[in-house]
Structure 1
Amino acid sequence: MQTTLTAPSNNDASRNYRILWRWHFYAGLFVMPFLMVLAITGSIYVFKPQIDTALYGDKLFVASSQQARLGYDRQLAIAASAVPKEATATSVSVSSNPRRSTEAVFRLASGDSTSVYVNPYSGEILGTLSVQHRLMQQVRQIHRDLMLGKWGGWLMELAACWTLIMVGTGVALWWPNKAASVWGSLLPRAGLRGRALWRELHMVIGFWVAIGAVFFILSGLPWSSFWGSNFQALVTWANVDTNTNKSVETAKTEHVHDAATSPKADAAMSMDMPMKMQDLPLAEIPWAVGATTVPQSNLAHLSHLSSHDSALPPQRLTIDQVAAIAASKGMLTYQLALPGKTASVFTASYAPGAAEFLRSDLDRQRTLHIDQYSGKILKDMRFADYGVVSKAVTLGVALHMGEYFGLANQLICAGISLTLLGMAITGFVMWWKRRPQKALGAPKRVLQPPASIKRWKGYMALMGMLFPLMGASMIVVWLGDTLFFKNKA
């Protein structure tokens, strides 16, 4: 009995190793195909500015000129001639760059949107592009949700979360159990052949890329379908940013006070319910403001309409007038969402991702909501107003997208992505070389886990609580493993 109890701390270590290896195997089995998709699409998308310029440069850029630019309203009218009459204008790009064309986006009857590019000097239509079906947009959608909508987004989120388990168990399996040696721990040993070489490459390279992999996951999750949307809503609700929330509450108070003066305004408000920033027809929206409420335009002036002219629509500001208002507030380059309803507003948003918008200008990130009738600024949200969490997420996304410090950032991101692709490939080769005939080849199950495995159970439980979708899937995996392999070592 004594011998059994004292034996073998080596035996305990062996059982620990097998348990971790089994979870690492299951995580890798699930993650591998998705990780390959994420790595390939991420490596492509990180070079979006260069690829877009190569593919669509004749539409995105024009020769700079000393000639005065046409007004934005006139350019929008010209762009409208290139789309069906039933198409609705949803946004216009405003730029201080003399070489940029003007992009006008229209929603078609089919529900898709198309961009029309206009030379701001001559009024020439440079061409059109589908918003949904252009190459980089499709690459992005595959990266985010496999182009399968909500369910695809959940799958990719699960794969990202399980990658955290794969990385954690992988580092634990790598961890030297004797005096650390550079060769075999930090660098692969020379002279290895066959599966031993693949195993060492997998473990050593995996250790070096682990930090980058964890950063990629944590900086990408805020955009995910389930966890990301709930986390974003929580950060917004929790009033992390007191300055922004103060401006939000002020806008709400003014709106309620003004609307209360007119029964007609109340009726209009009931039909034109407020929306979130993320619902606006803009290509890129800052994460920090995505879940904030878009204010509504002041409808109090409708009370001045008499019964015989109540059918007349209120007079909306022109795009040129709105551009002048934004310029007076220091905004010269942005995307402008056009109001689609009576109570909607103009929204000018300077955000990264739209070709000339650079992530290195994070401190200039800004969103203006402008009353479509009076031109009053209803809400002004700047990077300086964001809370600590929102700033951290914004910076993380910038680094994740390779858009914070130029080409070097792009190359680092592509390098990490391609290394993760290599990890998936080497893992597959290792499994292929050791797989038994007509069997999955999972590491043998440990029937009596050692007490020391508790710390790993705690780690897994914590991960499951932080990421509920992954927690639910871990329970499913554990139940399946327990029920189907209850008496199998």
Structure 2
Amino acid sequence: MNKTIKKSIGKIHLWLGLASGLVVFIVALTGSLLVFEEEIDSFLHPEFYKVKTIGTTKKPIDEAIKNLNNSFGIDSIQRIYTYQEEQKTALIIAKNKDKKTFYFAVNPYTAEIVGSIEQTKHFFTIVNQLHRNLLLGKTGKLITGISCLIFIILLISGLCLWWPKKRKNLKQRLTIKWKASFKRVNWDFHSTLGFYSFLFLLIIALTGLTWSFKWFENSLYYITDGVAKKPSIKVENPPKPESQITTTIFYQNIINQTNTLFPYQGNIQIRLPNDTVNSILVTKENTEKTIPNQSSIAYFDRYTGDNIQTKPYESFSQGDKLRRIIYPIHTGSIYGLPTKIIALLVCIFAVTAPITGFVIWWGRKKK
């Protein structure tokens, strides 16, 4: 590579790194925590993940909702999660009369509420918001999105700077000289581990853009489907004056119908609409598949519980399928523990990169 070009790339790498370093540090640190979110959170709040004793028969989820209303004065249910694992608790997200959102853990065998925590006080809710928008809402989301774009440029420019002029120098670039001076070790750590992490961090950064910019998400649909992403389907379900929920197992009936519609092993999520027009949306993830997040969709009448529309995962467009697989790729959960460990290691390196890069710059500045 031309010396002048490499020098220009070096300046771009330096100043973009200094400009985005703090944001990259925060996003990488929170990202490394989120890789093992379930494992860490189950340690902090075990009652939200496993029941102490496995029963013989699960109670209808409606009994848990009744207990919830009696004990906590719930104003509205937002989401209900049920899981196929025998030891796993169910989860209900609901708002109280003060409009505060809570997570409630349910023992599916007794319908007992075994745990509760306010959403804003939940550790990983805070970590997730820090990761996505620095707790600054739309402004923070734009900042993290721009920083993610900068990070991609840093990765590519870093690879250009790492690339040796001669093949005989390749071995030197692939190892860290731990017995050398601190300055040399710091340089090797920054550049060598940057090379080994390059591809994984590039994939994580590119998939992360999906949540930051609509234009990037639409580009994925253009590549796969030839058209932009279609707006989220909302099956209308206008109020019916004489239609009221009369059954005591309304939500359990929806769960039972979902299991009949999609007769595979899987976890079910019920999303209640926050308006008075749309129907209940239910997703069922197919846990029999090797790759996670393959969920089919069904819509149900919010007054009668009847099935209105069904959309199996197999009928999704290629764009929709790609969109669903992006989350496990981004989090490293796509192939379970091995890819999660890789994601954790490269995220930890990304945490150190702004620090080692700053040390390199500071040393040169002093010189």
Structure showing the higher strand proportion among its residues: 2
Indicate conservation of the 8 Å contact 2:293/2:324, yes or no: no
Deviates further, 188-197 or 367-376 = 188-197
Indicate conservation of the 8 Å contact 1:359/1:398, yes or no: no
Structure of higher CA gyration radius: 1
Secondary structure of the corresponding residue to residue 86 of structure 2: coil
The one-letter amino acid of 1:327's match is: N
The one-letter amino acid of 1:315's match is: Q
Work out whether 1:54 is the aligned partner of 2:43. yes
- Cα displacement (A) at 1:364: 4.0
1:314 to 243, 249, 255: 243
1:431 counterpart residue number:
361
Structure 1 pair 37–387 and aligned structure 2 pair: CA distance change class (3 A): same
Structure 1 pair 231–293 and aligned structure 2 pair: CA distance change class (3 A): farther
Work out whether 1:344 is the aligned partner of 2:333. no
The one-letter amino acid of 1:433's match is: G
Secondary structure of the corresponding residue to residue 30 of structure 1: helix
Work out whether 1:34 is the aligned partner of 2:23. yes
Residue by residue, what CA displacement relative to the aligned partner does 1:447-489 show, whole Å, maximum 9, x if unpaired?
A: xxxxxxxxxxxxxxxxxxxxxxxxxxxxxxxxxxxxxxxxxxx
TM-score by length of 2: 0.87
Work out whether 1:156 is the aligned partner of 2:156. no
5+ residue gaps, structure 2 = none
In 2: Cα distance, 1:347 partner to 1:432 partner: 54
In 2: Cα distance, 1:98 partner to 1:241 partner: 43
Matches for 1:263-282 after TM superposition, within 5 Å: none
Cα RMSD, aligned residues only: 3.1
Identity of aligned residues (%): 19
Indicate conservation of the 8 Å contact 1:205/1:423, yes or no: no
In 1: Cα distance, 2:335 partner to 2:79 partner: 29
The one-letter amino acid of 2:277's match is: A
1:240 to 219, 222, 225: 225
- Cα displacement (A) at 1:110: 4.3
- Cα displacement (A) at 1:315: 2.4
Indicate conservation of the 8 Å contact 2:47/2:105, yes or no: no
- Cα displacement (A) at 1:234: 6.5
Residue by residue, what CA displacement relative to the aligned partner does 1:40-91 show, whole Å, maximum 9, x if unpaired?
A: 111111111111211221243222111x332222221111123235x21222
Secondary structure of the corresponding residue to residue 435 of structure 1: helix
In 1: Cα distance, 2:63 partner to 2:226 partner: 39
Structure 1 pair 241–99 and aligned structure 2 pair: CA distance change class (3 A): farther
Indicate conservation of the 8 Å contact 1:241/1:386, yes or no: no
Indicate conservation of the 8 Å contact 2:295/2:313, yes or no: yes
- Cα displacement (A) at 1:238: 9.7
Indicate conservation of the 8 Å contact 2:55/2:109, yes or no: yes
Residue by residue, what CA displacement relative to the aligned partner does 1:335-383 show, whole Å, maximum 9, x if unpaired?
A: 112345543212112359xxxx798453741221112345454333343
The one-letter amino acid of 1:412's match is: I
Secondary structure of the corresponding residue to residue 92 of structure 1: strand
The one-letter amino acid of 1:292's match is: S
Secondary structure of the corresponding residue to residue 237 of structure 2: coil
Structure 1 pair 147–358 and aligned structure 2 pair: CA distance change class (3 A): farther
Secondary structure of the corresponding residue to residue 368 of structure 1: strand
1:386 counterpart residue number:
316
1:102 counterpart residue number:
90
Deviates further, 158-167 or 312-321 = 312-321
- Cα displacement (A) at 1:22: 1.0
1:329 to 261, 265, 277: 261
1:187 counterpart residue number:
175
The one-letter amino acid of 1:320's match is: Q
Residue by residue, what CA displacement relative to the aligned partner does 1:158-213 show, whole Å, maximum 9, x if unpaired?
A: 11100111112211122222344233222245764243443233222222211112
In 2: Cα distance, 1:298 partner to 1:239 partner: 34
1:74 counterpart residue number:
63
- Cα displacement (A) at 1:401: 1.1
Indicate conservation of the 8 Å contact 1:145/1:152, yes or no: yes
In 1: Cα distance, 2:49 partner to 2:310 partner: 29
Indicate conservation of the 8 Å contact 1:325/1:375, yes or no: no
Residue by residue, what CA displacement relative to the aligned partner does 1:375-427 show, whole Å, maximum 9, x if unpaired?
A: 45433334323333333343332122122222212111001111222322211
5+ residue gaps, structure 1 = 1-11, 246-287, 303-311, 438-489
1:295 counterpart residue number:
235
Secondary structure of the corresponding residue to residue 71 of structure 2: coil
In 1: Cα distance, 2:95 partner to 2:29 partner: 31
